[in-house]
Amino acid sequence: MANIISVINNKGGTGKTTTVLNLGAALAKRKQRVLLVDLDSQGNLTSTFQSGTNDMGIGELLVGNCSMDDVLKANGNLSLIPSTDKLLDFEFQINNEPGREYMLREQLEKLADDYDFILIDCPPSLGTLSINSLVAANTFIVPMQAENFAFIGLDRIMLITEKVKKRMNPSLKLDGILFVKLAPRTKFSQAVLSNLSNNKNFEGKLFNTYIRQDIALMESGAFKQTIFEYAPRSRGSHDYMDLAKEILKRYGKK
Amino acid sequence: MAKNRRTISDIQKALLINTKFIKEPEEVEEPIVKAEKKEPEPIANDKINIDEVVLKKYKILAPYLGDSVEELINKALNHFLRLKSLQLDQAIKKITEEE
C-alpha cells in the first residue's frame, strides 16, 4: 500500500518541486517504487522529469478526459503524472464538481498497490488542488526556509490542515517540517527552530535532516536532471539521500 | 547608525505575533472524529424466514431500485428495527414519566 505524501507550502520558492523530485529520486535509488504527481500548473516538476510537452496531464485525468494509462510516464522505479499548462482551466472546472475535494484521491486509490510512495507536488496556493492533495494523502511534508513569512505561512497551513483533518481526512498527519536553505548558525534560524521544537504540536515533527544551500540544486533543474545525476557528490545530493533514509526509517523500511 | 541588536528571545516573540496555531498550541485540540456510523451487518438469507411471496416481490423490485435483493432486505429490516427501537424509547420515556 502506497504512502501518499503531500509536499505543501502556499508560499512559492520554498523547495517543494526540488524536494519532490530529489526525494523521489532518492527513494527510487533505495529500491522504492515511487510515483510523483505534478499538481502545479507551472509544470516545473514535469519539465525537469522529461523533455517535450504533454497533451494530457493531471487536469485531464481529474475531469475524466483521459485514462491513467494516457498520462502515466514511467522511468524505472520513478514514475510521473505530469501537469500541463491547461491545469488552471481544469481547476476552475473542478470547482463546480460535487465532491471536488475527493477527485485526486479517487484516482490515486487505483494506484495504491503499484507504488511504495506517492509524492504530490502542490501548487503555491491553498486552493482546490492543494486541498485535493491533502484529502488524498496520508501525510504531508512542509518544506520551508527559516524566515518570517515562511513561519506565518506554516501557521496558515496548519490551520487549513486541521480543517481538512476534521472534515475530510481524519487520518491525515504531519510527516514533518523540512528546513531548506538553512543557515543554522544565524540567530534568526535558531529562533525559528526553537519556537517550533518547543511547541507541543510539532514534537518529533522537525526532520533531523535539513537541506543546505547548494547551487548544484538550482543548476540540476535547469539541466533537467535530479541532483543524483547532475552532482552526485554535492551537499544537495547527500542531504536528499539522508532525508530519504530518515523517511524510510520512520516508515519502518530499510 | 548603531545596529539594532536583537536576542534570539526577541526574535522568537516577534515571530509569534502573526501566528495562531503555533502561538496557542494548548488551545488547539485534536479534532474529534466522530465514530463512523456502521452499516448494518448483512444477514444471510438462510438466517431469516422470509415469506416466499414477499421474497418474490423483492426480487422484482430490487433491480428497479439498483440494489441487490440482500441489500434491499437488509435495508427493510434495518428500517423496521429502527422503528421498533424508537417505539421502545418512547415506551421507556412514558413509563419513566408516569413513575
CB pair distance less than 8 Å for A187 and B31: no
Cβ contact A162–B21 (<8 Å): yes
> What's the CA gap between A55 and A67, in Å, rounded?
13
Residues A90 and A60: beta-carbon distance below 8 Å: yes
Q: Which residues of A touch B28 (CB under 8 A)?
A: 162, 201
Which chain A residue lies closest to B5 (C-alpha atoms)?
Answer: A187
Predicted local distance difference test score (pLDDT) of residue A167 = 94
Q: What is the CA radius of gyration of chain A?
A: 17
pLDDT for residue B80: 83
Beta bridge partners of residue A144, listed in sequence order:
A179
Q: pLDDT of B15-29, one tens digit each?
A: 888 788 887 655 444
Residues of chain B in contact with residue A170, where contact means CB-CB under 8 angstroms, are 31, 33
List the single residue in A151, A190, A196 with the smallest CB-CB distance to B8. A190
Residue to substitute from B19, B21, B34, interface A, most A β-carbons within 10 A: B21
Instruction: Give yes or no for residue A192 having a pLDDT over 60.
Output: yes
Q: What is the pLDDT of residues A56-68, one digit of tens each?
A: 999 999 999 999 9
H or E segment and range at residue A54: none
Q: pLDDT value at position A54?
A: 74
Residue A191 at interface with chain B, using a CB cutoff of 8 Å:
yes
Question: Do A163 and A156 touch, CB atoms closer than 8 A?
Answer: no
Task: Look up cell 472534515; give the residue.
Answer: A167
Q: Could you report the predicted ipTM of this complex, rounded to two decimals?
A: 0.70
Place of cell 482551466: A89
A120 touches A133 (CB < 8 A)? yes
Q: What is the pTM of this model?
A: 0.75
Cell representation of residue B68: 441487490
In this complex, how many residue pairs, one in chain A and one in chain B, have their CB atoms less than 8 Å apart?
54
- Nearest-angstrom CA–CA distance, A5 and A78: 15
Q: What is the CA radius of gyration of chain B?
A: 30
